[in-house]
Amino acid sequence: MNVVFLAPSYPPEMQQYTRGLAEVGANVFGVGDSARQALPKSLKPYLADYLQVPRIMDEDDVIKRVSAWLRGRRIDRILSNWEPLVILAARLRERFGLPGMSVDTVTGFRDKMLMKDRVKAAGLRVPYAFKVKSEREIREAAEKIGYPLILKPISGAGSADTYKVSSKAELESAIAAMRHVEVVSCEEFIDGEEFTYDTVCIDGKPAYENVASYLPPPLIARSNEWVSPVIITVRELDQPKIKPGIVLGRKVLKALGMGDGFTHMEWFLTKKGEAVFGEIGCRPGGAHLVDQMNYTGDVDLFREWARVACWKSFEGSTKRKYNAGIVFKRALGQGRITKITGLKDYMNRYGDYVVEEQLLRPGTMRRNWKQTLLSDGHLMIRHPNWDAAYKIAFAAATDVTLYAGG
């Protein structure tokens, strides 16, 4: 099994998928714009070969270079788990006549308006939305939708460049902030709790399912620096609050023609108990969500995804043992981390339930919290009881503090 994987070293979690492919018997041919000599030593044993390209986002150039590089070789799969590259992988599959989702199908997971149109056509509830390309079109769409509404990139990932708009004044501010975004989705604001629905699929059927709760919703977390975002996977999926989202998610997969691999969907639960579709990608969730899912069931989904992608087989456990929570911390102040308070006491109380502690240490320059959810590090916890997991996670959010200055 010879597999081309885009891109094996970045983002960093792609290194785990590369490992997974090698461990299930694939010869991995990596393609990326990182220099060969800069590849992590831990990654190199899992690569059969590597092609460095000047610009991994230049699809036409990459296709030309990969085509020349692969001349005379037999390739069985072309894969990517990074949102910006999923269409490139589909274009390469079509170029070589390989199995996997087509460009049209993948575009349905990438273009938020096309995505909503296809989901709506299947009779499923989606936010009222318009695809807009100019300031005039944004204002016209806002008049039709009414306030509050959401503005976000049509092909973005996560909640970057996403704004809740509650008035004409806020609309003008958001328009000014989004002038670098070429195509925008202007859509109805859905008031409700926000969850994920994550799968590993074989021919569009979930071999593995996961739901995680955003606490608070991503838009609030992305808008307020003082918030420590918390995400907790839900151990018990067979409960009235969660089941509507799973039912919705399975129907969305069918509506969009999902094939093999990861999906990451976001959905809302309104106060009336209605599950409303948000968006979906045909790739794994970021920000260590797959690590959380692994801790939830003591499984290696990096490897199981690879087994599905190569052999259409899932051998990992689907038993859910824990609620796994991740807490992202943001330092108070700017510059370098100067100190961490509350961590020792927190570990004394809850250390038995902490599976990862990856906070930035004093002397380290803090990250730009607006550009990465990872912020200034995280704590990962797990507990079989939801209330206990919630308590332990929020204790990390409130009792552990990082400071920066200088």
**DSSP string over 105-164:** HHHHHH-HHHHHHHHHHTT-----EEEE-SHHHHHHHHHHH-SSEEEEETT--TTTT-EE
Q: State how far the Cα of 99 lies from the Cα of 235, in Å rounded to an integer.
A: 34
First-to-last CA distance in the chain? 53
- The answer to whether 258 touches 201, Cβ cutoff 8 Å, is yes
Q: Is the pLDDT of residue 111 over 70?
A: yes
pLDDT at 23: 98
Please, is 311 exposed, middle or buried when counting C-beta atoms within 10 Å of its C-beta (0-12, 13-18, 19+)? middle
Q: State how far the Cα of 286 lies from the Cα of 227, in Å rounded to an integer.
A: 19
Rg (CA), the chain: 21
Residue 162's pLDDT band (boundaries 50, 70, 90)?
A: confident
* Joined tokens for residue 329: 């911390």
48 closest CA partner among 98, 2, 9, 99: 2
Q: Is the pLDDT of residue 204 over 80?
A: yes
pLDDT above 70: percentage of residues in the chain: 98
pLDDT at 157: 59
Looking at residues 189-203, what average pLDDT do you find? Answer: 96
- Residue 237's CB is within 10 A of a number of other CB atoms, namely 15
pLDDT at 219: 84
Looking at residues 47-76, what average pLDDT do you find? Answer: 97
* Joined tokens for residue 326: 């991740």
Residue 355's pLDDT band (boundaries 50, 70, 90)?
A: very high
Q: Is the pLDDT of residue 158 over 80?
A: no
Residue 129's pLDDT band (boundaries 50, 70, 90)?
A: confident
Going from the C-alpha of 123 to that of each of 117, 197, 247, 274, 328, the distances in angstroms are 10, 19, 13, 14, 37
Which of 89-93, 171-175, 281-285, 348-352 has the least mean pLDDT? Answer: 171-175
* pTM to 2 decimal places: 0.92
Between these two residues, 158 and 154, which has the higher pLDDT value? 154
pLDDT at 223: 84
For 5-27, write each residue's pLDDT tens digit.
999 999 999 999 999 999 999 99
Going from the C-alpha of 76 to that of each of 98, 275, 391, the distances in angstroms are 7, 38, 47
- Residue 25's CB is within 10 A of a number of other CB atoms, namely 12
> Phi then psi for 222, rounded to 5 degrees?
-80, -15
347 closest CA partner among 379, 315, 373: 379
Q: State how far the Cα of 263 lies from the Cα of 234, in Å rounded to an integer.
A: 17
- Residue 60's CB is within 10 A of a number of other CB atoms, namely 9
Q: State how far the Cα of 227 lies from the Cα of 90, in Å rounded to an integer.
A: 38
pLDDT at 389: 98
Q: Is the pLDDT of residue 175 over 60?
A: yes
- The answer to whether 86 touches 262, Cβ cutoff 8 Å, is no
pLDDT at 81: 98
DSSP character for 371? T
Residue 106's pLDDT band (boundaries 50, 70, 90)?
A: very high
For 254-291, write each residue's pLDDT tens digit.
999 999 999 999 999 999 999 999 999 999 999 999 99
Q: Is the pLDDT of residue 160 over 70?
A: no
- The answer to whether 92 touches 99, Cβ cutoff 8 Å, is no
Going from the C-alpha of 157 to that of each of 79, 133, 184, 286, 362, the distances in angstroms are 18, 18, 13, 9, 31
Q: State how far the Cα of 115 lies from the Cα of 185, in Å rounded to an integer.
A: 11
- For residue 25, how many C-alpha atoms fall within 13 Å in the half-sphere facing its CB? 8
Looking up tokens 């959401």 gives: 150
Looking up tokens 């005039």 gives: 136
